[in-house]
Structure 1
Amino acid sequence: MALWQDEQPAANDAPRPAQSATVEGGLALKVRLHKRLLDVLNLSALERIPRETLRGEIRGEVRNLLADEKRLLSVPQVDQLIEDILDELLGLGALEPLLKDDSITDILINTHDKVYVERGGKLELTDVRFQDSRHLIRIVNKIVSAVGRRVDESQPMVDARLADGSRVNAIIPPLAVDGPLVSIRKFASKPIDIARLVDLGSITEDMALVLQMVVRARRNLLISGGTGSGKTTLLNALSAFIDQSERIVTIEDSAELQLQQPHVGRLETRPANIEERGEVTQRDLVRNSLRMRPDRIIVGEVRAGEAFDMLQAMNTGHEGSMTTVHANTARDALSRIEQMIGMAGLDIPARSVRGQIASAINVVVQVERMEDGRRRVVSISEVVGMEQDVVSMQEIFRFRRTGRGAKGEVLGDFEPTGIRPKFVEHMPARGLTLPLEMFNPARRA
Structure 2
Amino acid sequence: MAARTLPFVGDLLAFGSDRLGYLTRVSGEQGDVARITLGPYQCWLLSHPDHVQDVLIQHADHFRKGPVLQRAQFVLGDGLLTAEGDVHRRHRDIVQPAFHSRRITGYAETMISRALAMSDSWTAGVPLDVHAETVRLTLASAASTLLGADVGDDDIRTVEDAVADLLAAYKLAFVPFGWRLQRIPVGPMRRLRRGRQQLYRVVDPVIAARKAAAGAGDLLSALVRPEDSDRLSDQEIRDHAVTLLLAGHETTANALTFAFHLLALHPDIEGRVHAEVDETLESGMPGPQDHGRLPFCRAVISEALRLYPPSWAIARQALDDHRVGDHLIRAGDLVLLSPWLVHRDPRWWPEPESFRPDRWLDGESKERPRWAYFPFGAGIRRCIGEGFAWTEGVLVLAAVARRWRLRAVPHRPLRLEPLITLRPRDGLWLRPEPRTRRKPHASTTS
**TM-score category (smaller protein):** under 0.3
Q: More relative contact order in 1 or in 2 (CA 8 Å, sep 6+)?
A: 2
Report which of the two has the higher share of helix.
Answer: 2
TM-score, with structure 2 as normaliser: 0.23
